[in-house]
Structure 1
Amino acid sequence: MAGDGSWQRWNTHFSTSVEVDLFGKTLRLAQDPNSQNLGTTVWDASIVLAKWLEKGARRGELARHRLRGKKAIELGAGTGLAGLALAMLSCDVVLTDTASILRLLQLNYDANLSPAACSGLDLPCLSELGKVSVQELDWTRPEQFAAASPPYDFVLAADCVYHEELVKDFFDTVVAMVTPKSTVLICNEFRSESVHNRFKELFEARFTLKRVPHAKMDAECQHPNIDIYICKWRKS
């Protein structure tokens, strides 16, 4: 998936798995081609976000040594790619989604980063692997927020802004997971003007949004329609 107009999409239900190379390890992520649930597909935005995290692993705020032992949560994790990438950077990560997605999330962790999956592999990214757990978190059910054990140092979301009616629920969930010192990383694919405007309206009222230049993304895993935002609490 390059930025030259030749966009090879991965978000198809026709395959049962997608392979993504991260930190020297090939992650094999299961999909469910028989499901109509959006969370059972590896979406392009999750690949863009994961590869950007890989690129920044050596320096800056998201360098591995700065993330060691930090607490993170991925909202709407789906197949879990972005959250698994953060765990490979030493974060302790909770992968969350609705109840019907949890089996797939657990399967992808077990197949890729569980102790059994990593046994015998000599890779630097596995020497300080963060803890990973899977938990239900439905944005439309605020009574579940406390059970997610906030606050978190990092909140991660890939392709979670796609329906105007859900943007407010997503925003409320993010706010419930953070403190003024938290960092929120959101990767969106532009889908409609109304959805994008609603996202900006809500988040800019509470956070500062810094859009990551595409020059800082992975050269092969980016597209003009996919943006990464680093969101920080507005001090005012």
Structure 2
Amino acid sequence: MSSTRDESGWQRWNTHFSTSVEVELFGKTLRLAQDPNSQNLGTTVWDASIVLAKWLEKGARRGEFARQKLRGKSAIELGAGTGLAGLALAMLSCNIVLTDTAQILRLLQMNYDANLSPAACSGLDLPCLSELGAVSVQELDWTRPEQYATLAPPYDFVLAADCVYHEELVQNFFDAVLAMVSLKTTVVICNEFRSDSVHTRFKQLFEPRFAMKRVPHAKMDAVCQHQNIDIYICKLRKDVAASRPVPAAG
């Protein structure tokens, strides 16, 4: 996986200009297709998803995200895009539903088929492929609450990478997260800092409802991390678990 500097000087691991990107995880190279001609942000492997996937890889041996603790657990990735973070969780034996809007589903399915489907893994002798979690692809538009129930929540884990990028969408994202959780759910959100207003809105909505822990950068992958990308581990607060529906923050 190579890197390139953007117009701000950020040494990025990927941009939306390429048709594919390769990321090595658990000894297997994932080749993820992108669509550089698309105006949809979901067709790019964003840096936050790489940071999140490599953090999951680093924690595979011990801790809450160790393989033995994830085996057979249920998970959903919101705004999965090209699917990298969710595929990393599947490689840790977690059963996961990759979700995005309808126009992204074809690319999302194609990336699963090309990397972790039985056909793609045939003949490969890698420990990470010996007990892959089940993977499915399903539509979920955060602005359509009627779709929430079709995903059959709650899940053990909710995953999201670079879903907090526009202030107007943060409320929809929050509502979708809240609809997928129970008191036992662990929510993992990886955000790239976009602006003070977006970050403030994110914290304004999540902090009253979730106990949030920011992952120290020292616990991330030594190479795939950046000062502007943070990972948050969130759990629903017991004292507000029954507070639904949740009103929008002022």
TM tier relative to shorter chain: over 0.9
Under a length normalisation based on structure 2, what TM-score does the superposition of the two structures give? 0.92
Alignment partners' CA distance in 2, 1:35 and 1:13: 9
Is residue 168 of structure 2 the alignment partner of residue 165 of structure 1? yes
TM-fit CA distance, 1:149: 1.2
Structure 1 partner of 2:244: none
Please, which runs of 5 or more residues in structure 2 have no aligned partner?
A: 240-250
| CA distances 1:115-152 after superposition (whole Å, capped 9, x unpaired) | 00000000110001000000000000000000011110
Alignment partners' CA distance in 1, 2:16 and 2:205: 32
The question of whether the paired residues in 2 share the 8 Å contact of 1:167 and 1:198 is answered with yes
Alignment partners' CA distance in 2, 1:109 and 1:233: 30
Structure 1 consecutive aligned stretches of length 4 or more whose deviation exceeds 6 Å: none
Equivalent of 2:232, from 225, 229, 236? 229
**Other structure's SS at 2:24 match:** strand
Alignment partners' CA distance in 1, 2:234 and 2:16: 31
Is residue 55 of structure 2 the alignment partner of residue 52 of structure 1? yes
Q: Which has the higher contact order (CA 8 A, sep 6+)?
A: 1
The question of whether the paired residues in 1 share the 8 Å contact of 2:14 and 2:21 is answered with no
Give aligned pairs, total.
234
Residue identity in the other structure for 1:192: S
TM-fit CA distance, 1:93: 0.5
RMSD of equivalent CA atoms = 1.4
Is residue 96 of structure 2 the alignment partner of residue 88 of structure 1? no
Residue identity in the other structure for 1:87: A
Please, which runs of 5 or more residues in structure 1 have no aligned partner?
A: none
TM-fit CA distance, 1:11: 4.2
The question of whether the paired residues in 2 share the 8 Å contact of 1:206 and 1:234 is answered with yes
Under a length normalisation based on structure 1, what TM-score does the superposition of the two structures give? 0.97
Is residue 196 of structure 2 the alignment partner of residue 193 of structure 1? yes
The question of whether the paired residues in 2 share the 8 Å contact of 1:156 and 1:184 is answered with yes
TM-fit CA distance, 1:10: 3.7
Is residue 140 of structure 2 the alignment partner of residue 109 of structure 1? no
Provide the identity percentage: 85
Is residue 18 of structure 2 the alignment partner of residue 15 of structure 1? yes
